[in-house]
């Protein structure tokens, strides 16, 4: 009769209770399985004792392309098992000399070995060795529910290193205030992403921006707001992984001297009038969603924070400084004070002078964006004369004079030639002028701005009339 009682429960570590009549004895380490493969394939029908080399070979030496996920105890890999003609999911754990995780290992076997229900995972078998344990489950091709419900993945650092080929320059998409952005291949989720990588160091710089983006974007679901695929957080590095936009940010197509990068998969092109109008409408829709759907203030609307997919559908990104809308006791929005400003040339007067933001400061930035989009000029450019460094200082006097259709060519992007709607451009510049009102309360809400931009987009570009040359008869 055994003098020991083994207490197991609910996945917790096992506790061995010794008979008080016996002298203390050191715990005996469990014995590993025999190194030779038995002629029997299982302990009993349906439960297999796997050899370590089967798991190593079935995962191609734990190649990252087989990695499914990681939990508190071990990593989960897709694993091929030719001996049983099945694909399994092997949860592998290096328990070390202290046999950590042994309680969880035994608890799962105890619970699942006898389980037989279509809605309970089936345990195919196990491996137990001096250094490693593995539990092998049936393989679920669609993964865990959270990947479909939230679409939010916790990436391993080596996935980002390998997916960018050790941060090779051919993967570089851009660089912002906090980190560099790389095109990154993720075989585990069968997607290409854009990984913004930041070395936060010992002072954890940039952590506030990291948290702000996750907080805002994790719940976002709109065709004009970038989708956050997942994140990595480590002792030295953080990374946010977004959906990859093949056409990059808007500035690459808008400004002739925009810095080109090697990580994009599509060439830049001159944007025609209709494409610009679709971008203007899409960004307006995205901001309406941010304000009304997410109850947030973007705080950094600009051309570099607008990215374009294969079809040039715009998506808002750059939520590192996003903030929640503040309301008074009556539920009326009020301005809130912030410690960090946005980008030079886009700042509303109340933000630049007093550090105050609201949805109306986003409206102001959108007005600046409209000027950039339809004039092809940067919001702020030190290479211009001092009085024209800010686009708003330069163009606002002109915008107030635009009352006749023939005055539109004064400011329209020369890259458009004559292929634009004069009526539409006048409506756009009038909308921009309203957004750029110095008084926040006098600016329209983004919902109304969206309506105005849609109305401007309804004006068609007139067809060019073929030139007819005079024919003169020779005498």
Q: Look-up: residue for tokens 């109304």?
A: 448
CA distance 251 to 281: 17
**For 6, phi and psi rounded to 5 degrees?**
-100, 125
Candidates 117, 111, 155, 159; CA nearest to 135 is 111
Instruction: Report the Cα–Cα distance between both ends of the chain, in Å, rounded.
Output: 130
Which one from 251, 300, 362, 413 is the annotated catalytic residue?
A: 300
Q: Is 300 a catalytic residue?
A: yes
Instruction: State the DSSP string of 145-186.
Output: HHHHHT--EE--HHHHHHHTTTT-GGGEEEE-SS-EEEEEEE
Compute CA distances 247 → 285, 303, 366, whole Å.
Answer: 20, 13, 21
CA distance 147 to 149: 6
CA distance 296 to 6: 54
Please list, in sequence order, all residues whose beta carbon lies within 8 angstroms of the beta carbon of residue 460, skipping any fewer than 6 positions away. Answer: 421
Check: CB of residue 273 under 8 Å from CB of residue 421: yes
Strand pairing partners for 366? none
Checking 91-94 for CB contacts under 8 A at 24+ apart, the result is 91/134, 91/135, 91/136, 91/137, 92/55, 92/62, 92/132, 92/133, 92/134, 93/132, 93/133, 93/134, 94/131, 94/132
Neighbours of 234 (CB within 10 A): 12
Please list, in sequence order, all residues whose beta carbon lies within 8 angstroms of the beta carbon of residue 311, skipping any fewer than 6 positions away. Answer: none
Q: Which residues are catalytic?
A: 300
């Amino acid at each position: 009769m055994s003098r020991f009682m083994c207490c197991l429960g609910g996945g917790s570590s096992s506790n061995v209770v010794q008979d008080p009549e016996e002298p203390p004895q050191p715990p005996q380490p469990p014995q590993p399985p025999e190194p030779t493969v038995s002629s029997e394939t299982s302990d009993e029908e349906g439960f297999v004792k796997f050899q370590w080399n089967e798991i190593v070979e079935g995962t191609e030496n734990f190649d990252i392309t087989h990695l499914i996920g990681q939990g508190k105890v071990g990593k989960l890999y897709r694993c091929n098992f030719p001996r049983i003609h099945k694909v399994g999911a092997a949860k592998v754990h290096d328990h070390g000399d202290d046999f950590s995780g042994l309680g969880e290992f035994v608890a799962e076997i105890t619970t699942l070995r006898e389980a037989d229900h279509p809605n309970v995972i089936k345990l195919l078998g196990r491996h137990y060795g001096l250094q490693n344990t593995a539990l092998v489950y049936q393989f679920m091709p669609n993964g865990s529910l959270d990947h479909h419900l939230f679409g939010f993945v916790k990436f391993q650092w080596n996935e980002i290193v390998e997916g960018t080929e050790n941060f090779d320059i051919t993967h570089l998409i851009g660089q912002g205030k906090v980190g560099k952005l790389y095109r990154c291949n993720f075989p585990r989720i069968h997607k290409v992403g854009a990984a913004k990588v930041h070395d936060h160091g010992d002072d954890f710089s940039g952590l506030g921006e990291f948290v702000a983006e996750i907080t805002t974007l994790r719940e976002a679901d709109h065709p004009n707001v970038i989708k956050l695929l997942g994140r990595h957080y480590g002792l030295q590095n953080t990374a946010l992984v977004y959906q990859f936009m093949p056409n990059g940010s808007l500035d690459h197509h808008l400004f002739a001297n925009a810095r080109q990068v090697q990580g994009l998969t599509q060439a830049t092109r001159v944007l025609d009038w209709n494409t610009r109008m679709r971008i203007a409408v899409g960004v307006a829709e995205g901001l309406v969603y941010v304000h009304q759907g997410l109850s947030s203030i973007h705080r950094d609307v600009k051309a570099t924070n607008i990215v374009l997919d294969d079809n040039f559908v715009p998506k808002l990104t750059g939520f590192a400084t996003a903030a929640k809308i503040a309301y008074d006791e009556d539920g009326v929005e009020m301005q809130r004070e912030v410690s960090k400003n946005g980008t030079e040339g886009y700042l509303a007067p109340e933000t630049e002078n007093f550090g105050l933001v609201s949805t109306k400061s986003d409206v102001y930035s959108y007005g600046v964006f409209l000027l950039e989009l339809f004039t092809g000029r940067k919001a702020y450019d030190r290479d211009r004369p001092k009085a024209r460094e800010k686009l708003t200082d330069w163009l606002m006097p002109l915008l107030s004079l635009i009352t006749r259709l023939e005055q539109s060519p004064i400011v329209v992007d020369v890259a458009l030639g004559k292929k634009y709607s004069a009526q539409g451009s006048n409506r756009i510049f009038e909308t921009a002028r309203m957004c750029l009102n110095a008084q926040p309360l006098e600016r329209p809400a983004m919902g109304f701005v969206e309506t105005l931009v849609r109305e401007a987009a309804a004006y068609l570009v007139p067809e060019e009339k073929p030139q007819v040359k005079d024919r003169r008869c020779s005498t």
